[in-house]
Structure 1
């Protein structure tokens, strides 16, 4: 059965892959992107475009009208920002604005699912145990029911607040929302070069100076993450959260797989965690002194140190989600970067 689906943020890494899979599935696909957005990831697709951002209420209403499913894929992931205000404006205030439009009677009349892109960082993780969707972090003005939330970066707080907001609209306003908590994504089509994609590119080009010991993240292939979003629309229970990750993998292993996939030597140098923290302290100090945004800072390092694993059996059981080994997606990402570099080289020679 053909459904009408809208992907908000379709130009992004996840949004473009969701869009591609929906088109391949034969759905009637609409996309909403900013007027100045780079849309190379979806330019070859037959979709209906709406130009506007998440603050354009009239464009939102026009794009959502008559939709069966809305996939909300807008996230500001810049966890290293010196001033975190943009994170909360986009991830929290912007989400609230879209939710307000989604529950308007004219929109709600046809809307069957609102699939929200969340993150696995919204669950409480502790060393020595496996976290599930029930391990929720509650952030109401920086407080939990039992203790003050210490150690959460502004980025994580913005993601927790956004997810809780979506669940509130499902509970109190009848929004048919499902939250999909996606881990670190790897794969091809990373046209905007995400920070984790940059690591693979560096390894694939033989230019990654070192890897960091003691750094490991939950990871999943970008195509599998996109499929989880679509399955959540089809089978997800309203008001529920679903964690999406294939496995935990180290920074060194990601670099090794990427390098070997394209026939180059993996980085030979590895720095210890204390050295990584010292470098992060310097990055944070530079940000304060010079007023710059440094990608390698204490906040970004804390995000990379998500050592406790998460349990994704709920998504597999309820959604029928079956991810491929993430190693395959890492190899595809490495080949994507090398292929893109080669294409640029040939284009330059031809020009």
Structure 2
């Protein structure tokens, strides 16, 4: 019997949030699932799920070939998001070379669908309106290495579809929020810091958002309804931090934070980055590039996904509420376990 799908992701990476959600949805639909992990991965998020685990690495082609044996669909959610690395070599190797290895393995294994989790960062900018899949990438001169690597990865995927017959589809995913985030990721972590009253000051920027559960729904819809060689914008509401954090603060019965203008924040990041470099510091997260990426994206046109994938994302308010409730419950459970240990 064939293993219907391989959910490929690595739990050290931020993509585990998407990969785990896809895995959960597959198991809820009683699909047979194999998950590719590194041996060093934390598997707590997979606890209790009826999945087959295989170990490997996208930079180790034999392990990819083994993992894909008998699979009909590959959901590829591996990404190295460490934009803050001073040495950007791993960014290209993991995001581009790793994908190429996986696509080669998929072609050899004869998979019927290869669903690739890409990013809204591969889309062109439109200063006069909403961004669509048809706008070519037009900001290479401003794109940091992380974006360049993701763009190269998606370009390679679409090229494999055209020239080698890879049955691939790319999902250009916005900033993800929602429950069951075990890390949590920086986006959800930021919401929780606001909801718990720990964040007093925030940056006045805006962003396209999407519920993690709706990303998983889009991935499974793309498997059966998506057109091969196409990319789909998976983004829902475009929202300012003022509105987003007001939702989170209300969920936690906290006052919303004060806001610093984007221009001021960018200047602080620019100065801090240069001071770090003068001090010989490496791998710092505060940088002009990071600040630029926090505010470069605008409203996304998801008409193609709605029309072709029958995609219906939920309201952002529901996403924020469910996220805060889940994180609050997880913190309460952690406190209970800690208190129980102290009594013992």
| TM-score range normalised by the length of the shorter chain | over 0.9
For residues 101-144 of structure 1, what are the alpha-carbon distances to aligned partners after superposition, in whole Å with 9 as ceiling and x for unaligned? Answer: 1112xx01xx1100000011111112222221111328xxxxxx
**Pick aligned residue for 1:203 from 194, 197, 204:** 194
Asked if the contact 1:127/1:307 (under 8 Å) is kept, the reply is: no
Q: Does 1:76 align with 2:80?
A: yes
**Pick aligned residue for 1:65 from 63, 69, 72:** 69
**Pick aligned residue for 1:180 from 171, 176, 181:** 171
Q: Report the CA distance between 1:149 and its aligned residue.
A: 2.8
Runs ≥4 in structure 1, deviation > 3 angstroms?
none
Q: How many residues are matched?
A: 335
Q: What secondary structure, in the 3-state scheme, does the structure 2 residue paired with 1:86 have?
A: helix
Q: What secondary structure, in the 3-state scheme, does the structure 1 residue paired with 2:172 have?
A: strand
Q: Go from structure 1 to structure 2 and tell me whether the alpha carbon gap of 1:303 and 1:294 turns closer, same or farther (over 3 Å shift).
A: same
> Which residue does 1:4 correspond to in 2?
4
Query: What is the distance in 2 between the residues matched to 1:273 and 1:260?
Result: 24
Q: What secondary structure, in the 3-state scheme, does the structure 2 residue paired with 1:219 have?
A: strand
Q: Report the CA distance between 1:58 and its aligned residue.
A: 2.3
1:272-291 to 2 correspondences below 5 Å:
272-289=261-278, 290-291=280-281
Query: What is the distance in 2 between the residues matched to 1:295 and 1:191?
Result: 21
> Which residue does 1:22 correspond to in 2?
26
> Which residue does 1:329 correspond to in 2?
319
Q: Report the CA distance between 1:81 and its aligned residue.
A: 2.4
Q: Report the CA distance between 1:153 and its aligned residue.
A: 1.2
Q: Report the CA distance between 1:62 and its aligned residue.
A: 1.7
Provide TM-score, normalisation by structure 1.
0.91
Q: What secondary structure, in the 3-state scheme, does the structure 1 residue paired with 2:46 have?
A: coil
Query: What is the distance in 2 between the residues matched to 1:55 and 1:320?
Result: 35
Structure 1 residues 309-318 or 51-60, which shifts more? Answer: 51-60
Q: Report the CA distance between 1:3 and its aligned residue.
A: 6.8
Q: Report the CA distance between 1:340 and its aligned residue.
A: 1.8
For residues 26-77 of structure 1, what are the alpha-carbon distances to aligned partners after superposition, in whole Å with 9 as ceiling and x for unaligned? Answer: 1111100110111222122010110111123222112111111000000112
Q: What secondary structure, in the 3-state scheme, does the structure 2 residue paired with 1:41 have?
A: helix
Asked if the contact 1:115/1:233 (under 8 Å) is kept, the reply is: yes
For residues 230-276 of structure 1, what are the alpha-carbon distances to aligned partners after superposition, in whole Å with 9 as ceiling and x for unaligned? Answer: 11111111100000011101122221111211222221x11112221
> Which residue does 2:136 correspond to in 1?
136
Q: What secondary structure, in the 3-state scheme, does the structure 2 residue paired with 1:71 have?
A: strand
Q: Go from structure 1 to structure 2 and tell me whether the alpha carbon gap of 1:182 and 1:250 turns closer, same or farther (over 3 Å shift).
A: same
1:1-351 to 2 correspondences below 5 Å:
4-9=4-9, 11=11, 12-104=16-108, 107-108=109-110, 111-137=111-137, 149-213=140-204, 215-267=205-257, 269-289=258-278, 290-351=280-341
Q: What secondary structure, in the 3-state scheme, does the structure 2 residue paired with 1:103 have?
A: helix
Q: What secondary structure, in the 3-state scheme, does the structure 1 residue paired with 2:283 have?
A: coil
* Structure 1: unaligned runs, 5 residues or longer: 139-147
Q: What secondary structure, in the 3-state scheme, does the structure 2 residue paired with 1:180 have?
A: strand
Asked if the contact 2:81/2:146 (under 8 Å) is kept, the reply is: yes
Q: What secondary structure, in the 3-state scheme, does the structure 2 residue paired with 1:301 have?
A: helix
Query: What is the distance in 1 between the residues matched to 2:54 and 2:294?
Result: 35
Query: What is the distance in 2 between the residues matched to 1:334 and 1:295?
Result: 25
Q: What secondary structure, in the 3-state scheme, does the structure 1 residue paired with 2:233 have?
A: strand
Query: What is the distance in 2 between the residues matched to 1:10 and 1:30?
Result: 13
Query: What is the distance in 2 between the residues matched to 1:307 and 1:180?
Result: 16
Query: What is the distance in 2 between the residues matched to 1:252 and 1:321?
Result: 27
Q: Go from structure 1 to structure 2 and tell me whether the alpha carbon gap of 1:210 and 1:272 turns closer, same or farther (over 3 Å shift).
A: same
Structure 1 residues 121-130 or 111-120, which shifts more? Answer: 121-130
